[in-house]
């Protein structure tokens, strides 16, 4: 019988390793929550969870958006194998962030949630990102990709929007010190710059060929 495991070691060992590494923050916070590791969630556990999941959500979204720039810089196409998984981990942590907000922070008080979404711009931004991520998660399977064809790509360009919305959401939320959201903004800008630079480079030789 032919082994179902992929032959390429990057795929065979890399994917499970990256999966476990991506799950590590969730495992860690679970251990802290149940008092098995760390020093507990602190005096305001809801805030701790909210910040923890929000931060990791944003980090994974940026890591997911870094895959294409990495491929462009290194020329190694194997990076692509990790893109969906990392993007889904981004969606996973953002979903936990949203659920902590909805259930623990707001206590499922829907009038308060609705007021937040309508009145407070940073929550409006976050909510749009959650909706986009949900749509991308549902359509992340190979079957959905085939079925949607060209529209799949259009929808999944939403990842860029989610990156911008996430950083913006964080920026508007902080009380005073914008250092951390600024770091995320710089990272996001660098990623966009690499794509833009690479696209320009690719377009030039094409033009050269046409004239030559």
Partner 1 sequence: MLIKKKDDIRPSEILPESDYWNRRQLITALSASAALAAGCSNAAEPEEQTLQATSPKTSNLPLTVDNNAYEKLKGVKTSGYSTTEPPNSFDDITSYNNFYEFGLGKTDPAARAGSLRTRPWSVTISGEAETTGTFNLEDIMKPHALEERIYRLRCVEAWSMVVPWVGIPLADILKSFKPTSKAKYVAFETLVDEDQMPGQRSRVLNWPYREGLTIQEAMHPLTLMAVGLYGRVLPNQNGAPLRLVVPWKYGFKSIKSIVAIRFMERQPPTSWNLSAPNEYGFYANVNPDVDHPRWSQARERRIGGGVFAPKIPTLPFNGYGEEVASLYSGLDLRRNF
- Chain residues binding partner 1 by CB under 8 A are 33, 41-47, 49, 104-107, 109, 112, 115-116, 119-122, 172-173, 175-177
CA distance 66 to 51: 22
Least separation in angstroms between residue 177's CB and partner 1 is: 5
Residue 43 CB, nearest approach to partner 1 (Å): 3
Q: Are 130 and 101 contacting, i.e. CB atoms less than 8 angstroms apart?
A: no
Distance CA 152, CA 145 (A): 6
The residues near 41 (Cβ < 8 Å, ≥ 6 apart) are 32, 33, 48, 49
Q: What are phi and psi of 107, to 5 degrees?
A: 55, 35
What are 8's two structure tokens? 């390429």
**Separation CA 169–CA 212 (nearest Å):** 48
Tell me how far, at minimum, the Cβ of 44 lies from partner 1, in Å: 6
Q: What is the DSSP letter of 43?
A: S
Q: How far is the CB of 167 from partner 1 (least distance, A)?
A: 16
Looking at the Cβ atoms of 33 and 140, the one nearer to partner 1 is 33
For partner 1, the closer of residues 91 and 100 by Cβ is 100
Q: Which helix (H) or strand (E) holds 110?
A: helix 110-119
Answer yes or no: are the C-beta atoms of 55 and 90 closer than 8 Å.
Answer: no
Q: Which of 3, 179 has the CB closer to partner 1?
A: 179
Q: How far is the CB of 82 from partner 1 (least distance, A)?
A: 32
Name the H helices within the chain.
9, 15-33, 45-74, 83-99, 110-119, 121-138, 142-148, 150-156, 158-173, 179-211
Q: How far apart are CA 100 and CA 133, in angstroms?
A: 17
Question: Closest CB to partner 1 among 113 and 164?
Answer: 113
Kindly tell me which of 82 and 101 has the beta carbon lying closer to partner 1: 101
Minimum Å gap between C-beta 162 and partner 1 is 21
């Amino acid at each position: 019988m032919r082994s179902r495991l992929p032959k390429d070691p990057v795929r065979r060992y890399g994917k499970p390793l990256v999966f476990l590494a991506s799950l590590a923050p969730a495992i860690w916070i679970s251990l802290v929550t149940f008092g098995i590791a760390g020093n507990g969630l602190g005096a305001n556990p809801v805030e701790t969870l909210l910040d923890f999941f929000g931060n990791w959500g944003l980090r994974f979204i940026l890591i997911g958006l870094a895959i294409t720039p990495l491929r462009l810089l290194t020329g190694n196409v194997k990076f692509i194998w990790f893109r969906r998984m990392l993007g889904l981990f981004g969606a996973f942590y953002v979903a936990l962030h949203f659920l902590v907000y909805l259930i623990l922070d707001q206590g499922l008080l829907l009038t308060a949630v609705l007021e937040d979404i309508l009145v407070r711009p940073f929550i409006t931004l976050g909510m749009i990102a959650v909706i986009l991520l949900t749509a991308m998660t549902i359509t992340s399977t190979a079957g959905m990709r085939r079925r949607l064809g060209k529209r799949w790509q259009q929808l999944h360009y939403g990842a860029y929007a989610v990156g911008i919305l996430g950083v913006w959401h964080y920026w508007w939320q902080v009380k005073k010190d914008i250092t951390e959201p600024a770091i995320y903004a710089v990272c996001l800008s660098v990623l966009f710059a690499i794509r833009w630079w690479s696209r320009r480079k690719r377009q030039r030789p094409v033009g050269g060929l046409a004239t030559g």
